[in-house]
Amino acid sequence: MRLWADEEWRAGALAWARDELERLGRPIAGAPDQFHVRPWSTIFRIPTADGVVYFKAVPRQLSHEVRLTAWLARQFPDRVLPVLAADDRRGFMLFPDGGVRLRDAGAGLGAWCQVVAGYAELQLLVAPRLSELLALGVPDRRLRLLPKALAAMMPGQREELLARYAALCDELAAIGLPDTLQMDDFHDGNVFLDRERLRVFDWGDASVAHPFFSLRMILETAAKRLAVSPDGLEIRRVRDTYLERFNGFAAISDLRTAAVLAHRIVPTVRMLAWQLAYAEADHPDQWGETLEDLLEQQRSALV
């Protein structure tokens, strides 16, 4: 975070944004507002002659977010936020105003179902192109890699605990769903509503992994926003709307089983994302869950 406050860095970043906006015919028309400062990114709101744009910078260990975001915008322009300009070497991106976020729209159950359906469809479109994602530097968190990753983060743990985790990964893999792009941070703050169109954004916590690893976050968020039980009928409807997009791979009963298994496995994936995001943070325990919190979640999921 010290970098985001450095005056020399700020001057260079804003000069890049100014040059790109002038190239696009959208000169800056007011003072930029650095309203978001986190270890994993900073964002400026910039008024221009043609409306507000947003400048985002990410640290070097997350530079793959720039490449991935630009790739998604080129390949699936109707499903993600457009990118006006990008420089992956410097970790810079410019975006137009995306509209109203799902979080701010007071969305009901129907909108939540629409969001998860659209996200599942995007995952299925991306699935045949994993080699392209890996070439972009998107972290590889496929099931076969996770037991070793967990063992490295839990040295000295009982062997049976780690063996149980490996068995869960094998059981999930056996259901036969394709690996694809998934984002650990898939929630209502990262989806824009633009009339009938939904646009997903903020791919900093994305990885190549099992698709259902995204479910835990979105279902927990939906339960909170709709003020219903996490096990209630409404949340089961959201879950099944998502799962039904994968019915070409398995029966709905097996897809539900896969969702439960993914829920038990995913804390390790979130730990890996946490380590990457906070690699250069001064005090990572100031920003939500700590690594120990996530480790405890994984331990609890294995008992």
- Per the structure, the count of domains in the chain is 2
Amino acid identity for residue 91 in this structure = G
Report the alpha-carbon distance of residue 142 to residue 269 in Å, rounded. Answer: 9
Q: Which residues of the chain form beta strands (DSSP E)?
A: 33-38, 41-48, 51-57, 85-87, 92-96, 100-101, 180-183, 191-194, 197-200, 206-209
Instruction: Please indicate, yes or no, whether residues 204 and 257 belong to a single structural domain of this protein.
Output: yes
- Look up the CATH number of the domain holding residue 37: 3.30.200.20
Residue 212 sits in a domain whose CATH number is 3.90.1200.10
Same domain for 228 and 129: yes
Reported as a single tens digit per residue, the pLDDT across 16-42 is 999 999 999 999 999 999 999 998 999
Overall average pLDDT of the 165-191 stretch: 94
Last residue of a domain, one of 97, 121, 137: 97
My answer on whether 154 and 75 are in the same domain is: no
Question: How far is it, in rounded angstroms, from Cα 33 to Cα 45?
Answer: 5
Structure tokens that stand for 283 in this block: 């005090």
Let me know whether 117 and 264 are in one domain: yes
Same domain as 121, residue 84? no
Residue 185: half-sphere exposure toward Cβ, Cα within 13 Å: 18
Give the span between the Cα atoms of 17 and 242, in whole angstroms.
38
Domain boundary among 97, 119, 140: 97
Residue-wise pLDDT tens digits, 69-96? 999 999 999 899 999 999 999 999 999 9
Candidates 186, 155, 158; CA nearest to 266 is 186
Same domain? For 197 and 48 the reply is: no
pLDDT tens for 91-114 read: 999 999 988 888 888 788 998 999
Q: Are residues 209 and 278 in the same domain?
A: yes
Closest CA to 151 of 298, 1, 301: 298
Q: Looking at residues 230-242, what average pLDDT do you find?
A: 96
Residue listed under structure tokens 């690893």: 213
Query: Do residues 68 and 133 both lie within one domain?
Result: no
CA–CA separation, 214 and 34 (whole Å): 29
Task: Residue 180: count other Cβ atoms within 10 Å of its Cβ.
Answer: 22
Domain boundary among 69, 97, 125: 97
Place of tokens 């720039």: 66
Locus of tokens 């038990």: 264
171/190 same-domain check: yes
* pTM recorded for the entire structure: 0.93
Are 147 and 160 contained in the same domain? yes
Tokens of 81: 């936020």
Q: Are residues 86 and 181 in the same domain?
A: no
Q: In which band, very low, low, confident or very high, does the pLDDT at 195 lie, cut at 50, 70 and 90?
A: low
Q: Report the Cα–Cα distance between both ends of the chain, in Å, rounded.
A: 37
Residue-range definition of the domain harbouring residue 90: 2-97
Report DSSP state, residue 86: E
Q: CA angle 286-291-296, nearest 5°?
A: 125
| Residues 146, 211 within the same domain | yes
Structure tokens at 72: 């998604």
